[in-house]
Amino acid sequence: MLPEPVTDLINAFSRLPGVGPKTASRLVFYLLRGSDDQLTLTLADALRDLRSKTDYCPDCFNIMRKGRERCRVCSDPGRDHSLICVVEDPLDVAALERTSGFGGRYHVLHGALSPVEGVGPEDLKIEELLERVRQGEIKEVIIATNPSMEGDATGMYLRQQLGQMDVRLTRLARGLPMGGDLEYADQNTLLRALMGRQEME
């Protein structure tokens, strides 16, 4: 019923995570009805540039602008090169950088171990992490994978692999969010908060 360009774009949007057919249709018809042709052109240019003007850092595998030797974090001489924070995705780097509380470098795995989905160690940037640690400059590796079954499995696997090397291994603390009530916290969160308790200063 709909013209091919419309259905093609609906199908393309529908393939994005969290976007179902209804949301995809709304987005397409918003762009179609909109009087702002500039928005459509800007979106088209941004999508084209997403692939043609970005690359991955050869050291940490974070996203960077194509043409650079390394990403901004890896090329910053003020960062602590002996400290690496291991995350699942580039968005995790952005979240940690917003805190302004981490002065080391990163390693982006590009996913987490998931046997159900067929994601094994060879599908992630784990061997590259091990190679970075083998070079001897790294003194501490912070495991900052997501608090999920896949994230925990990935953290355990990394601990097994890195445990044989001369490097300090730490894990991000987990606990209660600011402003949260104990009665609404799930038992895993409460248990981790108890296990990760600290001295009062």
* Same structural domain, 33 and 105: no
**Closest to 92 in 3D by CA, of 107, 113, 71, 75:** 107
In terms of residue numbers, what domain contains 98? Answer: 78-171
Reported as a single tens digit per residue, the pLDDT across 73-83 is 999 999 999 99
Low pLDDT (below 50) residues in the chain = none
Q: Which CATH number goes with the domain that contains 37?
A: 1.10.8.420
Q: Which CATH number goes with the domain that contains 162?
A: 3.40.1360.10
* Same structural domain, 41 and 82: no
* Same structural domain, 100 and 165: yes
Q: Is residue 199 part of a domain?
A: no
As a whole number of angstroms, the distance between CA 103 and CA 84 comes to: 9
pTM over 0.75: yes
Nearest 10 degrees: Cα torsion 77, 64, 17, 84: -20
* Same structural domain, 87 and 159: yes
Q: Is residue 107 part of a domain?
A: yes
Instruction: Name the DSSP letter for residue 180.
Output: -
Instruction: Report the relative pairing of strands 140-143 and 80-87 from DSSP bridges.
Output: parallel
106 close to 63: Cβ distance less than 8 angstroms: no
As a whole number of angstroms, the distance between CA 89 and CA 23 comes to: 25
* Same structural domain, 167 and 108: yes
